[in-house]
């Protein structure tokens, strides 16, 4: 297959590219800075999102498009400027992909567009599956809803379209290195009440699930990319402490996180229990369905 990946140089994208090339596929990575990356016989870097770049002229017959592009949620306090960047970067990437698809003589069979479990809003009492139709009303829910709406234009063009609602991705990069720091300093503990849900997934399951979706035409619309066993923050932290052989004892009050992080503290203080109903029903077998083995596979290597 020929697969185009926007955001292919990031944490998940680079792992996904590695998986695809190992399986014999050719990967086209869309990046703003192609000159910073070296091509190989299985990977081609193409410039995009700048006036001088025209990736549609080089893509040819693409079988699948994967969009992982967007500014990091944890890149600093959520000022109004930062929130615009978070929103606009996702909208711009999704709309540019639709524009590229419209320019291709041969349309891809599938578009997998990243989204987030933040779509569902926050709740300590309810659980969510892909059957949940109403999005939340907070900033992250609005971002996910707008992101998916832009990508849905591919569906209107007859392309199988999947909205991959990602939970917290655990791996050697991403948020886990920051999550483990307090425990390494012997000050780990609950964040806020500790009752908020953490819907997580191992990076290996993210890449394998995307590969599974590519090969299974039954996947359409929203797909939750989360492990089947979400944890409350207090239980997630205790498991992390156990794997690191560190104490879990010093809670951080919610007001302190709000004072230091502002609105971005919602990433730590709010959550939702999101279940991967479609993945399970369609036969995907999680490599890491439980948290402790997932954390151990990452942290015991270090």
Supply the pLDDT for residue 145.
Answer: 97
Number of neighbouring beta carbons within 10 Å of residue 258: 16
Query: For residue 74, what pLDDT is reported?
Result: 84
Express each pLDDT in 162-181 by its tens digit. Answer: 999 999 999 999 999 989 99
Burial class (CB in 10 A: 0-12, 13-18, 19+), 167: buried
Question: Is residue 117 scored above 80 in pLDDT?
Answer: yes
Pairing of strands 231-232, 197-198: antiparallel
Per-residue model confidence as pLDDT tens digits over 120-172: 999 999 999 999 989 999 999 999 999 999 999 999 999 999 999 999 999 99
Whether the pLDDT of residue 186 is over 70: the answer is: yes
Give the contacts of 115 (CB within 8 A, at least 6 positions apart).
Answer: 144, 147, 148, 163, 164, 165, 166, 222
The answer to whether residue 114 scores a pLDDT higher than 80 is yes
Among the four given CATH numbers 3.30.565.10, 3.50.50.60, 3.30.420.40, 3.40.50.720, the one describing domain 2-299: 3.40.50.720
Q: Do 48 and 55 form a contact (C-beta atoms < 8 A)?
A: yes
| pLDDT tens digit sequence for 46-60 | 999 999 999 999 998
* pLDDT tens digits along 285-297: 999 999 999 999 9
Residues paired with 202 in a beta bridge: 170
- DSSP H stretches of helix in the chain: 11-22, 56-59, 80-103, 139-156, 176-184, 203-214, 233-244, 254-261, 266-269, 277-281, 291-299
Picking from 45, 52, 92, 51, the residue whose alpha carbon sits closest to that of residue 69 is: 92
Where residue 70 falls (left for φ over 0; alpha for ψ -120 to 50; beta otherwise) is left
Cα gap 135→57, rounded to integer Å: 37
Tell me, what's the pLDDT at 301? 66
Stretch 99-103: mean pLDDT: 96
The span from the CA of 258 to the CA of 178, in Å, is 17
H, E, C per residue of 72-138: CCCCCCCCHHHHHHHHHHHHHHHHHHHHHHHHCCCCCCEEEEEEEHHHHCCCCCCEECCCCCCCCCC
What tokens does 129 get? 């599956």
Contact, 101 vs 154, CB < 8 A? yes
Model confidence pLDDT, tens digit, residues 35-89:
999 999 999 999 999 999 999 999 989 999 999 999 999 888 999 999 999 999 9
Is residue 302 scored above 80 in pLDDT? Answer: no
Q: Mean pLDDT across the chain, nearest whole number?
A: 95
């Amino acid at each position: 297959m020929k697969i185009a990946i926007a955001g292919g140089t990031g944490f998940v994208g680079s792992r996904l590219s590695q998986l695809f090339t190992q399986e014999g596929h050719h990967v086209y990575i869309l990046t703003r800075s192609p000159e910073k990356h070296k091509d190989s016989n299985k990977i081609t870097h193409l410039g995009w999102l700048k006036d001088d770049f025209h990736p549609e002229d080089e893509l040819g017959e693409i079988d699948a498009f994967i969009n992982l592009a967007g500014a990091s949620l944890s890149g600093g306090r959520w000022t109004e400027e930062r929130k615009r960047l978070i929103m606009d970067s996702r909208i711009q990437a999704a709309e540019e992909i639709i524009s590229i698809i419209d320019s291709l003589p041969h349309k891809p069979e599938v578009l997998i567009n990243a989204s987030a479990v933040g779509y569902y809003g926050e709740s300590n009492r309810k659980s969510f599956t892909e059957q949940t139709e109403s999005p939340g009303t907070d900033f992250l829910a609005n971002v996910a809803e707008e992101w998916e709406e832009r990508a849905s234009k591919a569906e209107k063009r007859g392309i199988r379209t999947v909205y991959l609602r990602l939970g917290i991705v655990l791996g050697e990069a991403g948020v886990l290195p920051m999550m483990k720091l307090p425990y390494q300093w012997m000050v780990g503990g609950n964040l806020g009440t500790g009752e908020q849900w953490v819907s997580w997934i191992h990076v290996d399951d993210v890449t394998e699930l995307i590969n599974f979706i590519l090969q299974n035409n039954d996947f359409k619309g929203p797909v939750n990319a989360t492990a089947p066993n979400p944890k409350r923050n207090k239980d997630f932290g205790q498991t992390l402490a156990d794997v690191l052989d560190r104490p879990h004892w010093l809670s951080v009050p919610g007001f302190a996180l709000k004072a230091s992080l502002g609105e971005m503290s919602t990433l730590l203080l709010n959550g939702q229990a999101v279940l991967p109903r479609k993945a399970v029903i369609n036969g995907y077998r999680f490599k890491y369905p439980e948290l402790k083995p997932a954390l151990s596979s990452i942290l015991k290597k270090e």
